[in-house]
Structure 1
């Protein structure tokens, strides 16, 4: 962190205010302190100076003020952390729910303006998502939603079939009566939207994600839930392509029929049927996406069983 003279002055004033309010006249009387050394190459390495070895003015200032070496000087201010976490959560939700499309380009400034924040918390949030491979950052610093290869998509789908099938089966055994009522209500909203002459794609996508995770949450397996979330973070942008495309699956309400079978199995407390219905939902959507050719064929693709 670059520390300027102005920043150090403001910190010193805050230290004076805290100590004076506690009945102390000098900051030295609270905890041991470290004098600020503005000479180049000496003192606290976190304090920066200009090329002359001075920091913008008289060094007489350093004889009066000191820095308290406590946790408040080492951590990021909470407001900034809260903003960064909030930006991260909102971008993450857009990715998981499939509201961003593969290959879509973003900019830090555009995101910041949309959320009404500065670029700094957006940059921090984006770097977290890049580390999780949910976003890509090119050499010229533009941000892009990754485009999966066919083999990557097949691999993630295979993992989803196993993990999400397990979560659905577990939920059938453990879901509370109140949770089952909530799950059925989400499903009814999903079917009601499907029944519209022109369904709202964004609403269908949001309800689809809401239904799946309401079920997975009832498995009472928090580690498994986090793994599933990480998979959706990678696959979310392409996952709901069939809901966006207006294809025959949408016309025939294939997704709604799979959900109906899943909800019915949950109500009957049938883990095997719940797992099977959930896997059918995943498999048929994956097959459709593979058939459309929207994925990148970047490597040799062998036919892979999703059983």
Structure 2
């Protein structure tokens, strides 16, 4: 059994007790003087592991702490890196960044509550997909696409999502249709309240669910890069009321065609939605 204490001189300390049991590591801690959340990255037992402690009750002793903790295996570094990558990727697709916005490494790491390494790795993966670009100062940035590039994204989305919605109209399940209806309701509510954040999130989930409903292999991997390019571009402009309402009608039309299991009408509706969406 080993004990570790971390903290600055004169400041709050976090004491961690690590015990090996049947090849697993059980962690407990005394949080009485430590504000939450606290994020650590330490090399213990030869494995670099990232930990997050938040919202747990103060524990008076290590033995009491061990009785309250479930038997958990440490989270691997690879898992953390993948979580950070997925989080940044989804935020791009949902338009939470704007074209031209810089993505400073330290700022992202602080916001995500993690070390620099997983954020750096995630940004490098996004750069290889063309979803972020490096500036002369080596800071990553959301790219700014030309009008032709945006038109090309529209063309590619039309081809892929038409194929997806055609199959979704015949293969969808009742549960999937219900979930699709929830996203339509959110899009309609975003139009009524001019809520761009709600619209971007609901719009993303609506289209990704149709891709899932199609059961087409690789459709998600093909669409995601296009959506990482698209999301920031929608964010860069503020849709007016008429465009919001038009988008809500288009999504309703797609939903209705899928509900009727009418693939021809579904294709026409999704193409209208994609084409008019670039007026944003």
Mark the CA change 1:185 to 1:247 in structure 2 (over 3 Å): closer, same or farther.
closer
**Aligned twin of 2:77:** 80
Confirm or deny: 8 A CA contact 2:97 2:235 kept in the other structure.
no
| Structure 2: gaps of 5 or more residues | 1-19, 24-44, 50-74
Provide the rounded CA distance (Å) in 2 between the counterparts of 1:103 and 1:225: 26
Q: Deviations over 1:41-70 (max 9, x none)?
A: xxxxxxxxxxxxxxxxxxxxxxxxxxxxxx
The answer to whether 1:163 aligns with 2:160 is: yes
Q: Deviations over 1:141-184 (max 9, x none)?
A: 11110001122111111111111111111100100011111111
Provide the rounded CA distance (Å) in 1 between the counterparts of 2:116 and 2:176: 39
The answer to whether 1:210 aligns with 2:205 is: yes
Q: CA deviation at 1:87?
A: 1.0
Q: CA deviation at 1:241?
A: 4.9
How much is the aligned-residue C-alpha RMSD, in angstroms? 2.3
Aligned match for 1:245, one of 225, 239, 254: 239
TM-score normalised over the length of structure 1:
0.65
Provide the rounded CA distance (Å) in 1 between the counterparts of 2:80 and 2:200: 26
Match of 1:133, SS state, is coil
Runs of 4+ in structure 1 deviating by more than 4 angstroms, as ranges, are 75-78
Name the structure where strand makes up a greater proportion of residues.
2
**Aligned twin of 2:56:** none
Aligned match for 2:115, one of 113, 118, 121: 118
Provide the rounded CA distance (Å) in 2 between the counterparts of 1:240 and 1:219: 28
Q: CA deviation at 1:139?
A: 2.7
| Structure 1: gaps of 5 or more residues | 1-17, 23-71, 290-307
Match of 2:214, SS state, is coil
> Which aligned pairs between 1:137-216 and structure 2 lie closer than 5 A?
137-196=134-193, 199-216=194-211
Provide the rounded CA distance (Å) in 2 between the counterparts of 1:106 and 1:241: 16
Provide the rounded CA distance (Å) in 1 between the counterparts of 2:228 and 2:190: 25
**Aligned twin of 1:61:** none
Q: CA deviation at 1:246?
A: 3.1
Q: Deviations over 1:108-142 (max 9, x none)?
A: 00000001001111101110000111001123111
Provide the rounded CA distance (Å) in 2 between the counterparts of 1:93 and 1:240: 14
**Aligned twin of 1:222:** 217
Match of 1:245, SS state, is coil
Name the structure where helix makes up a greater proportion of residues.
1
Match of 1:98, SS state, is coil
Size of the aligned set, in residue pairs, is 215
> Which aligned pairs between 1:1-307 and structure 2 lie closer than 5 A?
79-196=76-193, 199-239=194-234, 241=236, 244-246=238-240, 248-250=242-244, 253-286=245-278, 288-289=279-280
Q: CA deviation at 1:79?
A: 2.7
Higher mean C-alpha displacement, 199-208 vs 121-130: 199-208
Which structure has the bigger radius of gyration? 1
